[in-house]
Amino acid sequence: MNNPFILFQLKPAPDLRTQEGDILPLDVLKARYTKVQAACHPDSFAMASEAQQKAASEMSSRLNQAYKMLRDDLSRVKTWLALLGLEIENQTTKPDMDLFELQMDLEERLAAVAAGDESQKATLIQDIESIKAQALDWFVSLAQNTPDTIEDVDTCLNQYSKLALSSRLEQRLYSM
Amino acid sequence: MALMQIAEPGQSPDPHKKTLVLGIDLGTTHSLIASVKNGTPVCLESADGEKLMPSIVHYTESAVEVGVQTEKTKGVDVLSIASIKRFIGRSAKEVQQLLEAFPVDYEWDFTDAAVPKVKTPQGLKTPVEISAEILKTLKKRAVQHFGVDEINSQNADSFKVVITVPAYFDDAQRQATQDAARLAGLSVLRLINEPTAASLAYGVEQDGTYLVYDFGGGTFDCSLIELNGDVYEVVATAGDTFLGGDDIDHALSEWFLATHLDGKKTKNLRSILKDAKERLSSQESVSVMDFTITRNDLTQVMEPILARTYKCIQRLLQDGRKSVKEVNQVLLVGGSTRSPQVFDGITAICQQQPRNDVNPDEVVALGALAQARKMTSKDVNHLLLDVCPLSLGLETMGGIVEKIIPRNTPIPVTKEQIFTTMKNNQSALKLHVVQGERESVEDCRSLAQFELRDIPPMAAGVARIKVRFDMDANGVLKVSAEELSTHHVASIDVKPSQGLSEEQLLEVLQAGQASAGEDINARLDKGARIELQRIIESCDHAFAEDASLLEDADQAAFAEQLKQAKALAEDAAATREDLKAMRESLNAVSEKLAALRMDKAIQDALKGTYI
C-alpha cells in the first residue's frame, strides 16, 4: 500500500484535492471508491481465471484499505505525513501541559453530557469541531508550501495530537 | 426449457456446456433453491409442489432421504436428523454445549474432538456430509426441473450457486458450508449473508438506509444496508447464531410444562406447541390439551427472546453510526417474523412499520439467485460490498486478544501487523487466531493455531514477525506469518480442524461413488480437463483484450504457454496430473497480466471523472 492518494487519482494532501490541487468534497471520494470497486470487485470476475480472481481480490482489498485511510481527516493526515517520512507510530510526543489541560476540560464536559446534561452538548460539539478545524487548517497550510519532509516535527506532533483528540471525542459524542 | 448459458463476451457458448445459475437458502429448519424459469426468478418446487424443503435428513441402512420422508416400511430403522445447521463447523466441545440447550434424539460420536460425528445406520457422518445431503437433494430438484443430462449433472461446473449463510456465521461455519457444497457437486460462486440476500430480493430501489431484521428458525441476524445507485453497501451487521423460532418453541414448552403440566413431560409437546404458536399469529387464543393459551401468554414467553434481538439492533445502529430515524425502511425476513409480536415490537423499536410484503420464506433464496445472476452475467450491474461480521485477532501475552481486523470491516481485506519475540533466542512463535469481540482469549472462539519455526537467534524484541490476515469476499480467512530478517514464511488457511482437506474430500467422494458403481477416476480426469479448458478460455479472452499491457518478452511467453495448454487440452493421452500441472503453470504465467488488467480497470473506471 504505497500511495492510496494516487489510487483514487488524488493529490497527496491533508484534505481532499484533485491531482491539479482543487478542493473536493468528501462524497466525491465515496463516489470514486464505489466506481473503482465496481470495476475491481472479485464478484465481477467470478467467471474469470484463478489468477484474475486473485488479482481482483487483492486490488479490491487494497481499495478498501486505501478508502479507509483517506475517508476520515485523522487517518488521511497520518497517511500524508507518512508519505513525507513522518511515521506517527514511531514518534514519542513531548509532554504538553496545555494539551493535557484541554483534554481534561473536554473529557469532563463530555462526561457531564454523557450523564444527561444535554444543555452543554451544543457548545461542546462546537468547541470540539473548532479544535479539529484549526488543527486540520494548520496541516493544510503546511501542505501549501509543498514540503519534501517535515521540518518542525514537535509542532507537527502537537497539532496531530489535537486532531486525534478532537476526532476521538467527536466519535464518542456521535455514538451517544 | 430455459437454460442460462454463460460465455465470455465475444465467444460463442459451447453448445454442450449447459450451466444452471442457482440461489440456495440452506436453512436450519427449511431449505430452498431458486432459479430463473421462463425468464422469471422463482423458487423451484418439489414433485409435490412444495417450495420449502424441511432440512431433515433421514438415514436408513440402505438409503438417505431428505425432507418429507416417504419410505415408512415397518421394521426399517430410520434415523432423522433435523437442524444440522446448528452444528456445522463446530468442535466436539461446542456441540456438547449446544446439546445441553437443544437436546436431540440421535447420538453423537466425539472420538475426534475436532470433527464430531453423528451415529447413523450408515455409520458415522459429519455435519458437513449431512448438510451435503440436503444440498444434493436441492440439486436434484434443479436437475429435474431443467432436464440436465447425465454428463452435465456429474459436473460441478454446470451448477453455479450462491449459498446464503447467517451474517453471524464465523469462519469455520463458512468453510464447512463450502465443503458441503463441494461434496454435493456444486460450484460455489459466493457465500453471501442472509440479510444481504434478503435486501436484494426485496428489490429496494430508492437510495437510502435499510435495516434488515432476519429472524429464522435457528438464527437471528440484522444488517444495516445503504443503497446508493447500483451499490449495495453493508454498513454493519450483528446477530446471534443461537437465537431463533426454535428457542421460542423451547421456551413455550418449558413454560407450558411448568404452568400446566407440573413438569410432567408429554410426547410431541414441542411440536404441538409449535403448532399452537403458529395459530396464535391469527387467533387470539387456542386450546392445547384442555388448556387455553392466549396470545398474551405467548407475548410474555417471547418477550425475553425478542429483547435479545432488540439489543442486537441497538449495537447495529451504533456500529453503523446511524440513528433509528435515519433508517428509511425496515425489511422483515424469516418465518419467525410472521408473529404479530415481532411486527408490533419492531414497529415500536424502529418507530415505523416494517415491510413484510415479500414471502419471508422465499426472500433469501431469491436474493441468493439475484447475486448469482449478477456474478455470471455482464448485464447486471449492481455491486455488493459486504463486511466481516466478527472481529479477528491473535492471542498475545497473558491471553489478551490483539484485534487485527475489527468487526464490520469491508471485505475483501488484508491487514498486516508486526509482532516480536518475548524471549532471547526464541526460535519459534506460536500463533493463535481467534474470533470474537471480547478481550480475553477464553471468551473468543479459537479458529486455528500454527507455528512459525526456525527464527534465527536474536535478543528478545529484535525479531520482526509480520503477520498477515487475508479475508476474501466470502468471509473466509487466511493467515500467514513471516520473519522479516530471514523471510522465513509459515502460513495457514484458517481451515480449522473441522474443514475438509482436498484428500479427505476425495475420499468421501470416492466412498460415495464406489457404492453407486461409478468410475471415480474417469470423473476426475474429465474434471481436470474441463478445469484446464475453462482457464484457457479465460486467458485467451484476457490476452486478446489486453496483451498490449505486457512487455514483448512476457507477451511471447504468455502466448507460448497458452499454445501448449491448448495442445494438451486436446491431447486425449494427457493424464490428470499433466492437466493439473498445466493449469497451474498457465495460471502462474497469467498472474502478471491479471494484475496489470486490474490497474487498467481502475484507470478506465476513473477516466474523465472530474467530479
- Chain A residue numbers touching B601 (CB-CB < 8 A): 36, 39-40, 59
* pLDDT level of residue A70 (50, 70, 90 thresholds): very high
**A3 touching B, CB under 8 A?**
no
DSSP, collapsed to helix, strand or coil, labels residue B104 as coil
* pLDDT level of residue A67 (50, 70, 90 thresholds): very high
- Chain B residue numbers touching A175 (CB-CB < 8 A): 318, 321
> Given B412, B594, B605, which is nearest A51 (Cβ)?
B594
Residue B75 has what pLDDT? Answer: 61
- Per DSSP, the residues of B328-385 read -EEEEESGGGGSHHHHHHHHHHHTSPPB--S-TTTHHHHHHHHHHHHHH-SS---EEE
Residue B151 has what pLDDT? Answer: 58
Q: Return the residue of A nearest to B539 by Cα.
A: A49
pLDDT digits (tens, 9 = 90+) for B364-412: 999 999 999 988 887 666 788 999 888 999 998 888 899 999 989 999 9
> Rounded to a whole number, what is the distance in Å from the CA of A97 to chain B's nearest CA?
31
ipTM of the complex: 0.81
Instruction: Say whether A59 and B598 touch across the interface (CB within 8 A).
Output: yes
Residue B36 has what pLDDT? Answer: 93
The answer to whether the B20-199 and B203-357 domains have the same CATH topology is yes
> Given B6, B538, B606, which is nearest A32 (Cβ)?
B606
Q: Who has greater pLDDT, B473 or B453?
A: B473
Residue B219 has what pLDDT? Answer: 80
pLDDT of B502 strictly over 70: no
Q: What percent of chain B has pLDDT over 90?
A: 39
pLDDT digits (tens, 9 = 90+) for B420-443: 888 888 888 888 988 888 888 888
Q: What percent of chain A has pLDDT over 70?
A: 98
* pLDDT level of residue B518 (50, 70, 90 thresholds): low
Mean pLDDT of B575-594: 90
- Chain A residue numbers touching B602 (CB-CB < 8 A): 7, 36, 39-40, 59
Residue B519 has what pLDDT? Answer: 62
Cα B448 from Cα B431, distance rounded (Å): 8
Beta bridge partners of B429: B452
B393 and B402 Cβ atoms separated by less than 8 Å: yes
**CATH number listed for the domain at residues B20-199:** 3.30.420.40
Instruction: Say whether A175 and B321 touch across the interface (CB within 8 A).
Output: yes
Q: Where are the alpha helices (DSSP H) in chain A?
A: 4-7, 26-40, 50-71, 73-83, 97-114, 121-144, 153-174
pLDDT of B526 strictly over 80: no
Q: Which fold has domain B203-357?
A: Nucleotidyltransferase; domain 5 (3.30.420)
- Chain A residue numbers touching B370 (CB-CB < 8 A): none
B245 and B215 Cβ atoms separated by less than 8 Å: yes
pLDDT digits (tens, 9 = 90+) for B46-85: 988 999 999 999 999 888 999 876 655 556 778 899 889 9
Q: What percent of chain A has pLDDT over 90?
A: 55
Domains in chain B: boundaries? 20-199, 203-357, 390-493, 519-606
Residue B564 has what pLDDT? Answer: 94
Residue B16 has what pLDDT? Answer: 46
Instruction: Say whether B413 and A65 touch across the interface (CB within 8 A).
Output: yes
Q: Return the residue of B nearest to A66 by Cα.
A: B413
Inter-chain Cβ pairs, chain A and chain B, closer than 8 A: 131
B144 and B83 Cβ atoms separated by less than 8 Å: no
Mean pLDDT of A80-106: 88
pLDDT digits (tens, 9 = 90+) for B162-196: 999 988 788 888 989 999 999 998 999 999 999 88
pLDDT of B452 strictly over 60: yes
Q: Which helix (H) or strand (E) holds B259?
A: helix B245-260
Cα B224 from Cα B459, distance rounded (Å): 48
Q: Which fold has domain B390-493?
A: Substrate Binding Domain Of DNAk; Chain A, domain 1 (2.60.34)
Q: Which fold has domain B519-606?
A: Substrate Binding Domain Of Dnak; Chain:A; Domain 2 (1.20.1270)
Nearest partner of B483 among B448, B461, B453, judged by Cα: B453
Q: Which three cell numbers stand for residue B63?
A: 438409503
